[in-house]
Amino acid sequence: MYASSYPHFTEGEIDKISLHSGKIAKNRIVDYFDTINSYKNDTKDKQLLKVNFYLNQLLPQVDKLNQNQEDYWETPKEFLTLGYGDCEDYAIIKYFTLLKLGFEQEKLFITTVYEKFSGRYHMVLSYFENQDESPLILDNLSFRVLNLRTREDLKPQIFVNSTGTYKIDENNKLIKIAYTSKKFQELIKRVEKES
């Protein structure tokens, strides 16, 4: 769907960002594209590790401070311009970055999990390399990409992508519970306006 292009910035957009948000924002965007392009010839395993590590270096900040509202899903262009985001924003930018690198969208899911140690809900990106196997987790709280079965701190709740909304059973089989997610559809509409 967006595999070869999104996110992208025109020269005019980059100049405007430099003017309004400063040279640091411009440099962050240029660095993102240079870095992601340098991963194109790596194996899928290396791409997962490198994307997770690289994007985890962006700074965390809650939506209330960033967007002056609760539970706002930033587009990758918003995240790169601001340089700050919270857990769902990391999951979203990783999702689109991996699509840009050629990963199949049917294998990538923005995932709500319950974080057992903190007692809070959290969002990560899941990658199902093989059907009916436990997914790999890209988490802004960990520089390591680990299999969900080894992440005893996480209890998966909902998996979302362009194909629908799912739960997972004890055999790692995804079960569709809805054809869409309102938040995901709102995000996609804003992404399409930016494209």
pLDDT on residue 60:
77
| Tens-digit pLDDT profile for residues 14-23 | 999 999 999 9
| Tens-digit pLDDT profile for residues 91-100 | 999 999 999 9
| Tens-digit pLDDT profile for residues 15-66 | 999 999 999 999 999 999 999 999 999 999 999 999 999 999 988 776 545 4
The CA distance from 159 to 178, in Å, is 10
Which residue segments constitute the domains of the chain, with CATH numbers given? 11-194 (3.10.620.30)
Q: Average pLDDT of 144-165?
A: 96
Listed as own residue / partner, the contacts of 166-174 with beta carbons closer than 8 Å and 24 or more positions apart are 166/109, 171/132, 172/132, 172/133, 172/134, 172/135, 173/132, 174/128
Element (H, E) at 50: helix 44-55
Strand-pair category, 59-60 with 84-85: parallel
Q: DSSP 3-state assignment of 93?
A: helix
pLDDT on residue 2:
43
